[in-house]
Structure 1
Amino acid sequence: MELAAIILIIIAVIAAEVLIFGKYALKGIYYSASVNKTEVSEGETLELTEVVENRRFVALPWIKTELSASRWLAFLKKDSAVQTSGGDNTFIPGVFTLKPRSKCTRVRTIKCLKRGVFSFDDTIITATDMLGLVKVSQAVKVGISITVLPTSSDSEDALLSFDEPIGDISVRRFINEDPFIIAGAKEYSGREPLNRINWKYTAITGNLMAARNEFSTTRNTLILMNMQRKRVLPVTAADIRDIEALIKLAVKLMEDSIYNGCSFAFATNGGSSCGIASDIIKTEEQK
């Protein structure tokens, strides 16, 4: 009789624990995630910080988080060793044990393998009771977006030649003189403003001399990237590889233009019905 009573009490306690845990398992549990950088280049790393907080006065012995991420965001070995693949996404698990009124922070290092815009949409939080009889899951919206910029091409072929004059170049005649290009000095005629007087040549010659300016014009560069395909066929892996190479080449042309002090604009017909060129991008010296 006593044994039966003990068994009934144990069953009642377990049933109460199951009911209470199933109802209040994730009450007062808060999850958040953030990244230290939202814009990086291919091959660079960033840090993802996960915070799980228990605001209750009851400990939580076991809680699991499963973060959904793109397979082009590579986690460290200690994280990726247990990740599971789901097509283009991977699921990164994390296990926590929380004391009452405590908070746990985990920092993960991510390497960005490919250009694009990637996001962490949501995280699945799963809590289990001490007996392992009940599992309660809840989806938490994360809403983190990461922009991975393409890197420049390593190829030296088919690049823009900067042997030709690009930028501000002297011409024989134009509408107005360029006040920033001084070619020498000339005798002061009285029509020049006083701030154009060249005191150095005035002292050398003994006559009042003014600065002589050149006429100039500016040549800008327009980088066009054509995304049209000649064949009405499904896109293959080779086509994607060629497009990626074109994007990297366009980035290299932009970097070379900036390095050589040449302003440029960029236009493409990818993703829209018509290609619209960007505004002319100038270097700091040209602004």
Structure 2
Amino acid sequence: MFIFWLLLTTVAVLYGQSLLFKRLVFKNLTYRREFRRKTCFRGDEVELVETLENNKRFPVPWLRVESLLSANLGFRKSENFDVSKGSLFQNHRSFFSLAGYTRITRTHHLTPTRRGCYKLDTVTLTGGDLLGNAQRHMQLPLQSELIVYPRPAEVPFHELPSRSWQGDYSIRRFIVPDPFVIVGAREYQAGDSMKQVNWKASARTGELMVHQYDFTADRCLMVIVNVEDVEGMWRSVSNESLIEKGIEWAAGAAEAAISQGMEVGFAANMPLRTESGSVRIDADRGHEHLLMLYEAMARLELDRTEPMLSLLEREIRIGYANRDVLVISAYWNEELEAAAQALRLLGNSVTAWQLTEERDEQSPNRKERSA
């Protein structure tokens, strides 16, 4: 009889604690997960912070926290969590045990291996009784986002467009007249302002003469990236690493130019995430503009929105002049060269850097034409 009542009492206690823990495990329990930083470059180490708070007297004997993250986020090894990694995603699981009125903050160190935009969407909490027989699940939305910039390739400023496929020769690049630097006089031409008239030179020569201004380096660079990894590509990119390399060269060129006070614009036959058309950012200068370019490059999707020829033809229709146009592409053909020549006729220089499989990270395989 004693054994019967002992068994009955044991069953009642186990059943009671199961109901109690199942009912109270999520009461006054808060959970937060966020990236310590909002932006970083590919390869930088970032901290992911979890904060769990039990705002009640009743303890939480065990709690499992699970979420699905991109496989491009590489975690350090730790005793407090487990990662099951696939080719595209990884399942991240953390384990906690909390006494009453306790807060636990746990920091995970991770390294993004690829540029992109990584969001923390939802997390699933699982808790239960002391023996783990009764379980409850709760899903929470998360808002944190990490924008991973492409790591800019090392592009020395003097290696920006300056040579020609037709042979090496000196050219005058990025030139605009500076009204504060007068170097001489020349004959009047249609369109010259009367404010430019050099009256002393006109009286001396007997002809209308105007000031000859010097040229200064008010530079403007337009960087264009072609997502087509082979000539004739339809939509899908087969060699993603090659195009990623091109994006990093574009970031390096933009960084080198803006650091010297130049204006830089960017275009690509790729869409930004959640958009459908080709990306295009007008030229501007300054650190804030550089960060905007980095973010646009981070959000690029490796899908072709239009042929590269169509993009260059649109640049021709815009009709700008006095710019250096840098095209980063895995191939170059007669059609692209004809479009480049049309841009040169507008008063621009055009240079192509051709991407190859070679693992030379210090200098691109350049095919250059300038005018």
Larger deviation, residues 21-30 vs 31-40: 21-30
- The answer for the alignment partner of 2:58 in structure 1 is 58
CA distance in 2: counterparts of 1:248 and 1:227, whole angstroms: 13
**Distance 1:4-1:80 versus aligned 2 partners, 3 A rule:** closer
For the aligned residue pairs, the C-alpha RMSD in angstroms reads: 3.0
Larger deviation, residues 227-236 vs 141-150: 227-236
Higher Cα Rg: structure 1 or 2? Answer: 1
How far the C-alpha of 1:274 sits from its partner, in A, is 5.3
Which residue type is aligned with residue 213 of structure 2? E
Q: Deviations over 1:82-105 (max 9, x none)?
A: 311244221222221211111111
Which residue type is aligned with residue 285 of structure 2? K
CA distance in 1: counterparts of 2:133 and 2:147, whole angstroms: 42
- The answer for the alignment partner of 2:232 in structure 1 is 230
- The answer for the alignment partner of 1:151 in structure 2 is 151
Is 1:104 aligned to 2:107, yes or no?
A: no
Q: Deviations over 1:210-232 (max 9, x none)?
A: xx993547552222223346134
Partner of 2:283: helix, strand, or coil? coil
Percent identity among equivalent residues? 22
Q: Is the 8 A contact 1:120 1:144 kept in 2?
A: yes
Is 1:140 aligned to 2:143, yes or no?
A: no
Is 1:279 aligned to 2:278, yes or no?
A: no
Q: Extract unaligned runs of 5+ from structure 1.
A: 171-176, 185-191, 193-211
CA distance in 2: counterparts of 1:241 and 1:79, whole angstroms: 33
Q: Is the 8 A contact 1:70 1:118 kept in 2?
A: yes
Where does 1:160-199 land on structure 2 (aligned, <5 Å)?
160-162=160-162, 164-170=171-177, 178-179=179-180, 181=181
Q: Extract unaligned runs of 5+ from structure 2.
A: 164-170, 185-194, 196-210, 288-371
CA distance in 1: counterparts of 2:227 and 2:235, whole angstroms: 14
Which residue type is aligned with residue 12 of structure 2? A
Q: Deviations over 1:88-142 (max 9, x none)?
A: 2212222212111111111111111110111122222121311222122222212
**Distance 1:283-1:119 versus aligned 2 partners, 3 A rule:** closer
Q: Is the 8 A contact 2:155 2:253 kept in 1?
A: no
**Distance 1:83-1:281 versus aligned 2 partners, 3 A rule:** same
Q: With structure 2 as the length reference, what TM-score do the two structures score? A: 0.59
**Distance 1:58-1:275 versus aligned 2 partners, 3 A rule:** closer
Q: Deviations over 1:8-40 (max 9, x none)?
A: 122122222222222332222110012221111
How far the C-alpha of 1:143 sits from its partner, in A, is 2.3
CA distance in 1: counterparts of 2:12 and 2:24, whole angstroms: 18
- The answer for the alignment partner of 1:88 in structure 2 is 88
CA distance in 1: counterparts of 2:90 and 2:284, whole angstroms: 38
**Distance 1:150-1:276 versus aligned 2 partners, 3 A rule:** closer
Q: Deviations over 1:46-78 (max 9, x none)?
A: 211111111111111211212322111111122
Q: Is the 8 A contact 1:115 1:149 kept in 2?
A: yes
**Distance 1:273-1:112 versus aligned 2 partners, 3 A rule:** closer
